[in-house]
Amino acid sequence: MKRIVACVFGLLLVGCGATLPSPTNSAVLIALSSPTPTLISEYEPTWQPQTIIGKVVGVSDGDTITVLDASNKQHKIRLDGIDAPESNQDFGSRAKQSLSDLVFGKTVTVTSRKNDRYGRVLGKVTLDGKDINLEQINRGMAWFYTHYAAELNREDATAYGKAEAQARYEKRGLWADASPVPPWDFRRGKTAKAPGSKPPAVVVVGPIVGNRDSKIYHLPNCPDYLKVSERNRVPFVTEAEAQAAGYRKARNCPQ
């Protein structure tokens, strides 16, 4: 490694006749502008946050669109933080139509934090300042994708959780069904339970989140609001409701 670094700096200063070895699986020298070269694993993601502005020219389903930017480049966008019913699932076509009504043919702004494993841009879509991801949840056309809640900023995660809790309460969209199947379960081949069976536990992050194991609840402004595991989440509308169920407020919540 010392030989590589010395050779690199020799190239920059007076030239070096030796040929540098090809990068190995362990590390790649990628930064020469800093006083000390930076070593970063070649397998670390190199994605940088970006903003895409363009016209929506396609809607694949309730959480995926295609955006054409000013340079006529198309971007496949997966709406971040939500999961809509699959196309061949109940409410799938309605979720797609809802998203189409909101954005098709319109110019949107996509704020992206990374690509997903399918190569799609994962981002927050806004139109005239309106959060379209949030609007799909508000309409009852998508779930808050709690599995990735920790990757969102706190404001969006809190808003998405509250929106789903309210949509559930008012039985909007897919919540008109007593036991809608989450798309992540549908993709794994799981189906709704038979009539008369015990309904599945609610695991959505709501306005107040209780931890089923510790019997502690967290408000949206509490430090550990998003740290409760999905299987242990129990939503409550008010603190009184949480307390009546035997939960106590987390001690690290702001007073």
Q: How far apart are CA 137 and CA 51, in angstroms?
A: 22
Residues 66 and 143 in one domain: yes
Range of the domain at 8: 2-40
pTM of the model: 0.60
Does 45 fall in a domain?
no
Q: Is beta strand 121-127 parallel, antiparallel or unpaired with respect to 74-79?
A: parallel
pLDDT greater at residue 210 or residue 231: 210
Does residue 254 lie in a domain region?
no
Contacts of 238 (CB under 8 A, 6+ apart): 208
CA dist 2 → 12, 37, 58, 153 (Å): 16, 11, 52, 41
Distance of CA 185 to the CA centre of its chain: 17
**Which of residues 120, 142, 174 is at a domain's end?**
174
Residues annotated as catalytic (active site), given as ranges:
78, 86, 120
- Please give the tally of structural domains in the chain: 3
Q: Which of 25-34, 154-163, 172-181 has the lowest mean pLDDT?
A: 25-34
Same domain, 121 and 218: no
| Range 207-222 average pLDDT | 87
Model confidence over 99-120: pLDDT tens digits?
A: 999 999 999 999 998 888 888 9
Query: Residues 130, 242: one domain?
Result: no
Q: Which helix (H) or strand (E) holds 77?
A: strand 74-79
Q: What is the pLDDT of residues 32-89, one digit of tens each?
A: 223 333 332 232 344 457 899 999 999 999 999 999 999 999 999 999 999 999 989 9
Q: What is the pLDDT of residue 190?
A: 61
- Same structural domain for residues 101 and 158? yes
* 255 domain-assigned: no
* 135 pLDDT more than 70: yes
Amino acid code (one letter) for 105: G
Question: 3 phi and psi, to 5 degrees?
Answer: -65, -40
Alpha-carbon span 75 to 59, nearest angstrom: 12
> Based on the domain organization, do 71 and 157 belong to the same domain?
yes
CA 223, CA 74: separation in Å to the nearest integer? 39
